[in-house]
Amino acid sequence: MNRGLVGRIATYVYLIAASVVLLYPLFFMLLGSFVTLDQYLRTKIIPIPTTLNFGEYDKIVRGSLGQSGLLQAMQITVIRVVWYLSLSLLVALLGGYVFSRLRFPGKQFLFMFFLSGLMVPGILISLPTYMVLARFPLAGGNNIQGVGGHGFVNEWPALFILGMVDVFAMFLVKQNYDMLPGEYEEAAIMDGAGLFTIIFRIYVPMLRPVLTAVVILVFIGTWNDYFYPLLLVAGNNDLTPIALAVQRMIYSFSTRGGVQMTPFPTIFAAATLMSTPPVLLYLALQRYFVQGLVGVGLKG
């Protein structure tokens, strides 16, 4: 009993210490966004605001610091999130059903072909992706042969074309389809239900945990997307998503002068604004998120 008690105490001590280490940067960022620059420069361990100063948030949202402001960047990112969430859920539901319930020649080969794309790091296909979009025929001044202009580079389609088929989401949903007994579908067919009725009225309520996991993963991935916007639309300030906008703001402030001139509270406020939506979404849906991922390893 003593050995077990000591083990539990050691476990809790370790978890508490790990939580402090992980949460310290977040609390530092959050509290630092409410202090003035003078208060921040006097900070020893963690900034302690004397009042809740929302002035830094107001500056970066309205763009009164010589920046374009984060409001437009957040609007663009929200549109991308809605677009990719809709596509991912639709493809996952339909594709998962096809690969789980239907029988046709070459199904396993086709499914493995889709999954093989997950094995290739995205950085390896960045250059081919750029060339395809830059030389897209009849786009951005290009002729039918794809030359003469810039294609979709620095144009809005570059933010919405890539990743239209989320293979990982389809894999997650397919694994959960495999867990569900086929009697539900057979009973629905006997009652005269069609394919879409079966999927969206019978299976969707049962797949709620894994669909919630898909929502969280797609939301966070799209919200934090930085590399491909930097590669494809960095030359158009009107198409800057939130991650790229915050990076540009930080770089702009950091190059204005030394440490005394860098407005760290403003940078913390921008980072807090960017981090808040995915954190709130995960906290609200974390129970379903865990259930959805746990179900992937089970098959009934």
Confidence of residue 63 (pLDDT cuts 50, 70, 90): low
pLDDT band (50, 70, 90) for residue 69: low
Residue 296 pLDDT > 60: no
Which residue, chain included where needed, has tokens 């361990």?
45
What percent of the chain is modeled with pLDDT above 70? Answer: 91
Which range has the top average pLDDT, 129-133, 246-250, 269-273, 282-286?
129-133
Across 93-122, average pLDDT: 90
- The topology under which CATH files domain 55-297 is MetI-like fold (1.10.3720)
Residue 184 CB coordination number (10 Å): 13
- What pLDDT was estimated at residue 297? 46
Averaged pLDDT, 97-107: 91
- Residue 83, both tokens: 């677009």
Q: What is the pTM of this model?
A: 0.84
Mean pLDDT of the chain: 85
Hey, what are 225's tokens? 């997307």
pLDDT at 99: 93
Quickly state the pLDDT bin for 4 (edges 50, 70, 90).
confident
Per-residue pLDDT of 159-184, as tens digits, reads 999 888 899 999 999 988 988 888 88
pLDDT band at 88 (very low <50, low <70, confident <90, very high): very high
For the chain, the domains span 55-297
**Among 64-78, 120-134, 285-299, the least confident range:** 285-299
Asked if residue 57 has pLDDT above 70, the reply is: yes
pLDDT of residue 1: 54
Q: What is the rounded CA–CA span in Å between residue 63 and residue 57?
A: 10
The whole-number pLDDT of residue 300 equals 42
* Residue range 246-279, pLDDT digits in tens: 888 888 777 765 555 678 888 888 888 888 898 8
Residue 299 has pLDDT above 60, yes or no: no
C-beta of residue 276 within 8 angstroms of C-beta of residue 197: no
Residue 21 has pLDDT above 80, yes or no: yes
Please indicate whether residue 97 or residue 297 has the higher confidence score (pLDDT). Answer: 97
- How far from chain centre, in Å, is Cα 15? 27
Say what the pLDDT of residue 251 is: 80
Question: Considering only CA atoms, which of 255, 280, 283 is closest in space to residue 267?
Answer: 255
pLDDT higher than threshold 50 for residue 298: no
Alpha helices, H only, the chain: 2-32, 37-41, 55-62, 70-101, 107-116, 126-134, 167-179, 183-190, 195-197, 204-206, 208-223, 227-232, 242-254, 264-294
For residue 66, pLDDT beyond 50: no
What is the C-alpha to C-alpha distance for residues 251 and 247, in angstroms, rounded to an integer? Answer: 6
